[in-house]
Structure 1
């Protein structure tokens, strides 16, 4: 069986970033659609280890198991396959898409037109579907809603917010907000939240894109999706265009020698971001990555992701804010947030969320045993703390190597200073 190029590309991304669950879900879908159910099962096992409660993974596991047992009928003669993407939307393959590069995606888009319809509105954001890629939001949160992280806020003010708010002053000093801003740091530390807060601060639309929104197994479709993303963002300016896990989409091309399709996608991203060839006025591009050292060097040249901001582990004030957020809708009693924050130095925001969840489960289990509802208390937090370890150790090991041996141009001086302050070097 000939390997599908998109599956090969996605597997290349997973080799470098095994924690990307949306990408793994896309791989499982594609493997299942190609009849490669044994391989799909192996990836299901890995995905369940990452997120045991994920209903989509469980459904894929059942589907692949049934197929191997002979319970699934053979595909029809046309080879048509219905695929559910990582976010649950379905796309139906057909003869039109199978034409690959010969198909004029732009002409089709002009014929069909762009349909923008309200999707839902809640008390936090106003969200709109735009075309068939990604979602627009109108965040109501601002940087004032981000607890602590004063250094990050100062960096954002200097590199993006200041020039946007004071265009004449920025012009006088020869600076601008054009190009892109790269947020990097350990996983689970709030990079997406910060990006949404920037959009709220600017009163701009927030357009969040993941790699699963871009990559497609039909030849040329990934590049089209990326072109459509920028086209939509320009139409909805002012807009913060946010690329999560940008290292997966903009991976070093030198590492993609066997993945011509993914190389073409990286080239398309370079073209769309190039200020000389694209009109991105009012489009503020923010990327987030745990591994900035894997981002293609061309993406970090002037006019692209030329400014980097370290979003590190939450400081004490940020930890208090995160703990308060995750406990606010739960019955609590006698929780000393500053004391908990003091005991969680080195924990990421995701780690703190897990502590709150575990403590709540302990209180609930006790309530079930006694038949009397009781609130979450400090002893539950202490028990949850004893079961939770900081999850960012491996990241700091990788970062230490980069700081020591791959910082010749000074790109990671901020990271080096942070690690020295933490005594990680």
Structure 2
């Protein structure tokens, strides 16, 4: 039986996951590697962690199925009536095996979805036209102002930018707590510019084979260059461009960071018409070389949604559901501190209450303010842990003033 400690590539990926445990795409890649190596028990535990991050994710559920079938097949005697059956278990056996193997790891709701919910194809990043602009972003006026100052203004007024000796070259880094709309803002920037939008995740780049990750990264930039004008959006930049000083013994990831530096360097590559936006929850983990002029030299804090943004997010998530008597303005005021992801969860939970009543009575009833208020008290703002980490950075690692904007924001919200 193979062991993780005998596989240097897998060990390296697990170490990267330990450094960035909230990077969902990286965890999925680790699960895939574990499955490829037949380490199904370890993969199963990672599936549990992944489904805690993104409940119902189809790709993880597909990997979960592979693990469960493999484990059930290897210990068929543990399943009632399974003796003598082929490894290709029928659907009844699969769900029985799932309950046996993962009952303590995966919530039953995920298993209740049934086999029809499983999709195992992985979508790679694709170039597309963005259908949204900054006008579709509710509230967040300060973020919009900074985007206009740092990127949109110089691009719309090239003559004035040249007169003042400024440009939009280099990259822009969006940072802040998770679930606050950094990806949506990047898409809105592309729509504002009328440019193509090319979102890329770490799973689209990292590969187990030596040199393949660097080639994948180069290919990503080449696609962006061919489709210019293009907004290239690199999500979870801290995982892709982690500090090399903290990568002792991780030669593969160091070369990936070096390749990223090369692709961003205007002296070695022509990135005309390519506007590189990065997003991270942990900017303090990004390699310092990536923050130099011409690279990700400008940072914009994307904080928690303000009242106007919360109202817009709530409206978006309730728009296709039967509702009655919803006071969005009042609800927006009562959800201060909620991230966009928290607000989506609030709407889903309230809808489940109404649906439970409908199942019980046989009559469809709308989601009401009472439903939303009933679940609001049970939802704890998810960004609290992020602000704990950010407080340490602001207090003890801000000697050069990099995080002055974050410090002001936290003072304004009485978080420090």
**Residue 160 of structure 1 corresponds to which residue in structure 2?**
151
**Residue 185 of structure 1 corresponds to which residue in structure 2?**
176
Q: TM-score, normalised by structure 1?
A: 0.84
**Residue 138 of structure 1 corresponds to which residue in structure 2?**
129
The answer to whether the 8 A contact 2:190-2:196 is kept is yes
Count of matched residue positions in the alignment of Structure 1 and Structure 2: 371
Report how far residue 276 of structure 1 moved.
1.5
Report how far residue 30 of structure 1 moved.
0.8
Q: Say whether 1:223 aligns with 2:200.
A: no
Report how far residue 343 of structure 1 moved.
0.4
Higher helix share: 2
Q: 1:88 to 1:408 in 2, by over 3 A?
A: farther
Rounded Cα–Cα distance in structure 1 between residues aligned with 2:143 and 2:10: 37
1:303 partner SS: coil
Rounded Cα–Cα distance in structure 1 between residues aligned with 2:312 and 2:61: 34
The answer to whether the 8 A contact 1:348-1:390 is kept is yes
**Residue 284 of structure 2 corresponds to which residue in structure 1?**
293
Report how far residue 88 of structure 1 moved.
4.7
1:159 partner SS: helix
Which of these residues, 369, 377, 386, is aligned with residue 368 of structure 2?
377
Per-residue deviation, residues 54-90 of structure 1 (Å, max 9, x unmatched): 33323323322333345498xxxxxxxxxxxxx9547
**Residue 35 of structure 2 corresponds to which residue in structure 1?**
32
**Structure 2 runs not aligned, ≥5 long:** 75-85, 88-118
Rounded Cα–Cα distance in structure 1 between residues aligned with 2:289 and 2:384: 29
The answer to whether the 8 A contact 1:17-1:248 is kept is yes
**Residue 418 of structure 1 corresponds to which residue in structure 2?**
409
Q: TM-score, normalised by structure 2?
A: 0.86
Rounded Cα–Cα distance in structure 2 between residues aligned with 1:365 and 1:226: 47
**Residue 266 of structure 1 corresponds to which residue in structure 2?**
257
Q: Say whether 1:10 aligns with 2:13.
A: yes
The answer to whether the 8 A contact 1:6-1:216 is kept is no
Which of these residues, 149, 153, 158, is aligned with residue 140 of structure 2?
149
The answer to whether the 8 A contact 2:63-2:120 is kept is no
The answer to whether the 8 A contact 1:159-1:307 is kept is yes
1:135 partner SS: coil
**Residue 354 of structure 1 corresponds to which residue in structure 2?**
345
**Residue 320 of structure 2 corresponds to which residue in structure 1?**
329
**Structure 1 runs not aligned, ≥5 long:** 74-86, 91-128
1:286 partner SS: strand
**Residue 235 of structure 2 corresponds to which residue in structure 1?**
244
1:217 partner SS: coil
Report how far residue 369 of structure 1 moved.
1.1
2:323 partner SS: coil
**Residue 204 of structure 2 corresponds to which residue in structure 1?**
213
Per-residue deviation, residues 120-177 of structure 1 (Å, max 9, x unmatched): xxxxxxxxx9xxx521110121000000000000000000001111111111111111
Which of these residues, 230, 236, 244, is aligned with residue 253 of structure 1?
244
1:308 partner SS: strand
Rounded Cα–Cα distance in structure 2 between residues aligned with 1:317 and 1:421: 17
Rounded Cα–Cα distance in structure 2 between residues aligned with 1:147 and 1:208: 22
Per-residue deviation, residues 170-193 of structure 1 (Å, max 9, x unmatched): 111111110000000000000000
> Which range is displaced more, 44-53 or 27-36?
44-53
**Residue 83 of structure 1 corresponds to which residue in structure 2?**
none
The answer to whether the 8 A contact 1:204-1:239 is kept is yes
* Aligned-pair Cα RMSD in Å: 1.7
The answer to whether the 8 A contact 1:5-1:261 is kept is no
Report how far residue 13 of structure 1 moved.
2.3
